[in-house]
């Protein structure tokens, strides 16, 4: 079960939606989380976190599972979910 789930609707093609997420992916890299894409699915992996991004014709879904290290570091799933939601909204709606 994921600790964080965010769904962002969009009206782009899946390829355009993935391009629109470039800034979001750059932000993830700052936190040591990398995305490995295979088609419209990306596996996310970083220190203390793993998850996925799935892009469809109508939305982008981000799911993260926080590991023991992230929880020990005090990462709050609710705050992380709000942050991801805000950043995806900015990427697709301009704020």
Report pLDDT for 53. 97
pLDDT in tens, 36-78: 999 999 999 998 899 999 999 999 999 999 998 888 888 899 9
Q: How far apart are CA 76 and CA 59, in angstroms?
A: 25
Q: Residue 39, SS3? A: coil
Report pLDDT for 31. 85
- Model confidence at 27, pLDDT cuts 50, 70, 90, reads confident
Mean pLDDT of all residues in 8-36: 91
Structural domains in the chain, sorted by start: 4-90 (3.30.310.80)
Helices (H), the chain: 14-20, 22-30, 68-72, 77-93
Global pTM reads 0.91
- Give the DSSP letter of residue 88: H
């Amino acid at each position: 079960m994921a600790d964080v789930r965010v769904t962002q609707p969009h009206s782009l093609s899946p390829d355009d939606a993935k391009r629109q997420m470039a800034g979001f992916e750059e932000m993830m890299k700052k936190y040591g989380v990398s995305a490995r894409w295979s088609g419209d699915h990306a596996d996310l992996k970083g220190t203390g976190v793993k998850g996925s991004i799935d892009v469809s014709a109508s939305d982008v879904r981000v799911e993260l599972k926080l590991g023991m290290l992230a929880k020990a570091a005090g990462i709050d799933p609710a705050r992380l979910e709000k942050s991801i939601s805000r950043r995806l909204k900015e990427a697709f709606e301009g704020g």
